[in-house]
Structure 1
């Protein structure tokens, strides 16, 4: 636990001394502010759903940029070998970096709380869906970051890691769209296979939680999804540690 905390503090410190992290935060919050302004300008009722509905789209673009450096930068700078000599296991290294990225992202997302508070002041806001939307956003962010960490461990080039993550997230997003699934059915793809492909899409489970309908199966899905890619990350790093 202590080793994980040390790695997490080291990684979190690197976020706050890196200009990329601040650019990420400004752009991410800027896009959300623009969306919030458009919702208010359209005179929509006091609902935060249109605001949070954009989170999956923004995550597809921004989270690969946030996660691309987690391991690729260590490999490029030659510090991964040094990191592997720390008195910490590979799972502790992964947990430390993952928790640091999640904490940084949680801070950014928490800065949006002013929007639902404003809606509650000027309208009758239902806080149930708002809480569900924040939970759904956090769970989806964890799933997406685990994918980004995996691809970052596969290459020393941050741009390559970002592009691989972007393509993977975009593919998973399309698998959650009914129109895309109908198109696959029109191509003659087996119905059972379409069901399986749809079942692995994080986007499918985001909508129900964001509406305030919290099903433990959805939460178990996100935890399992995240665990799968973190374990894949472990296999990559453990193999590299054994080699040398």
Structure 2
């Protein structure tokens, strides 16, 4: 018998949750470098320069910096459009793919809520094949930037579509400033997934933004969600209850 508080659906964030942001950034840098220099050693040098800058913690202003470094005079808006609209050379990690498949096999519904420029996020979804793995995909930029997280429109939209609410849903994300605010307010279960090189890992949670649980591996996440779907507690996944 399914209890009212038994987990029925899991909703994921995209950037730095399903897809490490650094993988997308590296793909975009390659596209930008090749747009300037073609398939040449100079393009590879430009890509390495951008990547070294990113790894060194310089995430902002990369395209302007590239133009200054290379002496090129292309409009930065052209490079930004290439960055955002290129077809990313990315794929899901095997453990991520396996977890999504196992969750669906267990009968859970799977959703996605993601912010960001609409074309960019659609290209990521297509490249990762998420249309075949996820039941409902909510790209918040469809409604405009004012509906990006922490706005609750996408969360309420999934509640309405699935006729579920509260602890029947879980949100898995990484960004403490926005991912969990609406989910916590609606009574969802919330899980912060930590992994290496996350861009927003150092950010602190704002009011109402602390997750119910933190995990550091996809294996631990799978155990936690499967336990919740059976009406059990978090088990070995290691709950951090201090919201």
TM range (shorter): under 0.3
TM-score, L = length of structure 2: 0.27
TM-score, L = length of structure 1: 0.27
Structure having the larger proportion of residues in strand = 2
Structure having the larger proportion of residues in helix = 1
